[in-house]
Structure 1
Amino acid sequence: MEVVAGQLQKPPPEGAFPIRKLLSAAVAGLLVAAAAVTGTTAASATPPVGKADEHSIKVCSDPRPGEAACAARQATDPTGRVITNATTPPGTALTPSQLRSAYRLDGTASGGRTVAIVDAYGYPNLERDLATYRQQYGLPACTTANGCLTILDQNGGTRLPRFDLGWAQEQALDVDAVSAACPDCRITVVQAASASFTNLGTAVQTAARQPGVVAISNSYGGSDASDATYGKYYRFPGIAVTASAGDSGYQGASYPASSSYVTAVGGTSLNPAPGTARGWAETTWSGTGSGCSAYNAPLAAAAGYGTGCANRAMNDVAAVSDPSNGGLGVFYPTSSKSSTWGQFGGTSLASPIIASVYALAGHTGAGLTGYANAIPYAHAGSLFDVASGSNGSCPTAQWCTARSGWDGVTGLGTPNGVGAF
């Protein structure tokens, strides 16, 4: 996706949308049959043409069996042209100060704790682009030279993988989101050789071994899967492992968000609300994923919350994800050489925000013996309860419709300071 400076460039077409609508039932039927062979589910493999598509585009391709797709989306204008600007962030984009204001993070520092980002493929200009983002907003420099930024391959070395545009845009969103939510956090980026769960999982294991890492963000997902197969990649007591719920509305569970070992992060829409006590209004983002795992054990901490799911229920918490209503200003690559400003969201934005709040709270790391996803359930009163909005139709109402208390779309709610983390 190339960008002409200062202009709105229409992205390549994603397909003939009327034909997609006519054939969606047939495609779903074929995927049901394929599920028996591949282990995927029609629900998780068939993103609808719905509200999440109206004013944004996805940046990564659909995942193949055994792989994940990044959960980043770029905001567009009503004609479908991406919102971008060569010199400054779009005027509608969320700034770091606005993000911290919305979640009452001002005045809280991490003391230099490290948030790890796991993504697929390489991004050769990551450090350069991150410097541009942080300079724009007056944030302290975060470089490899000053020890704030570390970039590794999936095995912990420096043989970084080949460039992939979509996943590089995902990485730009992730590191900018951590910078916005936690300006003094150190950032470690671990780049998997491909989007396979094996390679991404190996990268998570590498991230968990790095000194100082207290949270690991995974802004990607694929079909619901079993912890018996992949859980070893995400099972790290003491470290907050967060995962995006997905961006296609209610489609059933998505892995690794459906893992019993991670904090599953749903998405919201966030808008200024002058005159209110909080100053912000937050509702469910229609694009957020949610669901009930067919494989994994329920969280003991969630007992009594009425999830309606005998197994692992997504989600635990949420944060802003709507690309158009709360999308973050991001300095992102348009090719292997060039970059510009745009506005991004998806639950790919929510996951690194929540990982950063864990780092700010300071309760994860060597002193924590259990899994960090239990912490919010013990402190639900320290969250903003999001009680309105829906992400589609589902067999159990609370899986796809917000209500007071826990619901599948936004979990227990969104950060109100760091008390719940």
Structure 2
Amino acid sequence: MKALTTGAVALATVLGLVGTSAPAQGPNGQPVERFGRVFAVSVCGRMQVALQARCFGKVVTDARGNIINGKPDLNRNVTPSGYGPSDLNSAYGLSPAKGAPGSGPTIAIVDAYGYPNAEKDLNTYRAQYGLGSCTTTNGCFRKVNQNGGTSYPRTDVGWAQEQALDLDMASAMCPNCKILLVQASTPSYGNLAAAVNRAATLGSIVISNSYGGSESGSTTYERSYDHSGVAVTVSSGDYGYGVQFPASSSHVVAVGGTRLVRSGSGWSETVWDGAGSGCSSLYGILSNTQSATVTGCPNRAVADVAAVADPNTGVSVYGPVTRSRSGWMVFGGTSVSAPLIGGIYAAAGAFGGYPTTKLYGSATGAFRDITSGNNGSCPTTQWCTAGSGWDGPTGLGTPQGASAF
């Protein structure tokens, strides 16, 4: 079996386990899932209760649920696997950012629960890739609770891993941006909505949200994602065809997922079969954005754009492996793509109105059109199968430079 190209996920620890049945549970109690040639665990689990979201981060493990790169002695310098910032910038057509850390606009990361080592772990990632320090001291990093204060929620390892992923992806795409981490008390729709509103009041031009749940009962909270002049990016989900909220909100940029591989001197992408998509049953089309003639959906269709999400072609992240120790991990899921796209929006700079208005008016050449792959079966083929132009799993495609936004 061929090794993956430079920057892709190291598979040596799992190649000998291809025929092994995965155990019932991984390190945080969630089931170990098989994705092609790798195993991964959904760090926030797959189960949910009414009006509660789950995050969409998937950490790569071996067949027994041991986190790859996370299980050696975490005090030594373990070389990270997975795509790093230079890979991602190359794949999505970004030039190296100019300016010192914190000199750019603010991108907010909204997640649930606490993460005491967020600043320290973020700067380990940034130091590894030469992105410069982003700290409270230099004004680049700020962490608040959903009320804007510094009494933080209780720690949850899975959600802390999600936060590490989000912070690292935002840094990878916009290293000079200010980063605001807003921690909701719990992943209830109400608390996450409060955190999104808090991020908007604190001057963010981008708010990244890597979580979702059922549309049922969500209408009370949709207004919290309506912030003109702010790019609110949201993961489309990790379980194939089927709409998730808040990705189905008319006012957000819904971000699907791809499999990203090197192709000669460039890159190629196909649909990641876990990417969420579909036609909303609750929310209409925002004026001057999507149209039924484009999507085949009379309401809001998901997704708008996409980026890498397949755990087989995952990204490098530094964060909490356990409650007490941090290390290098490899992540997939649309929790990768939402903050990555958010970082590109932040790199593009300020804009007026709703970002999807410009998105659907962008020149075709601003995106890599994804024309291969699907995420399941659906009533209208376009909602789950890639093709020329818009499709559900990848939307308009993946950006080729910040000018797309």
TM-score (norm: length of structure 2): 0.87
Please state how far the C-alpha of 1:53 moved relative to its aligned partner: 10
Structure 2 residue corresponding to 1:159, chosen from 151, 155, 160: 151
1:317-353, CA deviations, whole angstroms, 9 ceiling, x for partnerless residues? 001111221x111111022321011101110010001
Is this contact kept in 2: 1:56–1:324, CA < 8 A?
no
| 1:4-46 CA-partner distances (Å, limit 9, x unpaired) | xxx99x9x94469xxxxxxxxxxxxxxxxxxxxxxxxxxxxxx
**Corresponding residue of 2:4:** none
Contact in 2 for aligned 1:305/1:406 (Cα 8 Å): no
Aligned to 2:306: 318
Instruction: Name 1:184's counterpart in structure 2.
Output: 176
Say whether 1:144 aligns with 2:131. Answer: no
Sort the Cα spacing of 1:53 and 1:78 in 2 relative to 1 into closer, same or farther, 3 A.
same
Distance in 1 (CA, whole Å) between partners of 2:40 and 2:340 is: 20
In the other structure, the counterpart of 1:266 is 256
Structure 1 contact 52–247 (Cα < 8 Å) conserved: no
CA distance in 1, matches of 2:234, 2:111: 11
Q: Report the counterpart of residue 302 of structure 1 in structure 2.
A: 290
- What residue in structure 1 maps to residue 106 of structure 2? 114
Q: Answer yes or no: is the 8 Å Cα contact 1:165–1:336 preserved in 2.
A: yes
1:321-340 matched pairs, under 5 angstroms: 321-325=309-313, 327-340=314-327
Structure 2 match to 1:343: 330
Q: CA deviation at 1:124?
A: 0.4
1:84 alignment partner, one of 47, 69, 73? 69
Q: Which residue of 2 aligns with 1:285?
A: 272
Q: 1:295 to 1:264 in 2, by over 3 A?
A: same
TM-superposed deviation, 1:398:
0.6
Which residue of structure 2 lines up, in the alignment, with residue 362 of structure 1? Answer: 349
Residue identity over aligned pairs, in percent, reads 50
**Number of residue pairs matched?**
374
> Could you say if the C-alpha distance between residues 307 and 164 of structure 1 is closer, same or farther in structure 2, counting changes exceeding 3 Å?
same
Kept in 2: contact 1:125–1:336 (CA 8 A): no
- Check conservation: 1:267, 1:347, Cα contact below 8 A: yes
1:98 aligns with 2:87: yes
Aligned-partner Cα distance in 1 for 2:168–2:261:
20
**8 A contact 2:32–2:65 mirrored in 1:** no
Aligned residue type for 1:99: L
1:57 aligns to what SS in structure 2? strand
1:353 and 2:343 aligned: no
- Please list every run of 5 or more consecutive structure 2 residues that lacks an aligned counterpart in the other structure: 1-12, 15-19
| C-alpha spacing 1:173/1:132, structure 2 compared with 1 (3 Å) | same
Corresponding residue for 2:125?
133
Letter in 2 for 1:313: A
Amino acid at match of 1:64: V
1:63 lines up with 2:48 in the alignment: yes
The structural deviation recorded for 1:164 is 0.3
Q: Does 1:257 align with 2:240?
A: no
Question: For residues 352 and 399 of structure 1, do their structure 2 counterparts lie closer, same or farther at Cα, with a shift above 3 Å needed?
Answer: same
- Distance of 2:251 and 2:244 partners within structure 1: 14
Q: Cα gap change, 1:242/1:165 in structure 2, threshold over 3 Å: closer, same or farther? A: same
Question: Does the 8 Å contact 1:231/1:259 carry over to 2?
Answer: yes
Give, as a single letter, the amino acid of the residue that structure 1 aligns with 2:253. T
| Deviation at residue 90 of structure 1 after TM alignment | 3.7
Look up the SS of the partner of 2:183 in the other structure: strand
Q: CA deviation at 1:50?
A: 7.2
Corresponding residue SS for 2:107: strand
Say yes or no: does 1:171 pair with 2:163.
yes
Which amino acid letter does the alignment assign opposite residue 132 of structure 1?
A: T
> Does structure 2 retain, via aligned residues, the 8 Å contact 1:95–1:328?
yes
Secondary structure of the residue aligned to 2:360 is helix
User: Aligned letter for 2:54?
Assistant: A
Q: Residues 203 and 246 from structure 1, CA distance in 2 versus in 1: closer, same or farther, beyond 3 angstroms?
A: same
Task: Please report how far the alpha carbon of residue 227 of structure 1 lies from its aligned counterpart in structure 2 after TM superposition.
Answer: 6.2
Amino acid across the alignment from 1:217: S
Question: Any conservation in 1 of the 2:35–2:312 contact (CA below 8 Å)?
Answer: no
Gap change, CA 1:248 and 1:50, over 3 Å in 2: farther
* Corresponding residue SS for 2:159: helix
Summarize deviations over 1:292-317 as a string: whole Å, max 9, x none.
Answer: 11100123311265312111100000
- Report the Cα offset of residue 199 of structure 1: 0.2
| Paired residue secondary structure (1:356) | helix
1:420 match: 404
Check if 1:377 corresponds to 2:360.
Answer: yes
Instruction: Name the structure where helix makes up a greater proportion of residues.
Output: 1
* Residue 82 of structure 1: how far off its partner (Å): 2.9
TM-score (norm 1): 0.84
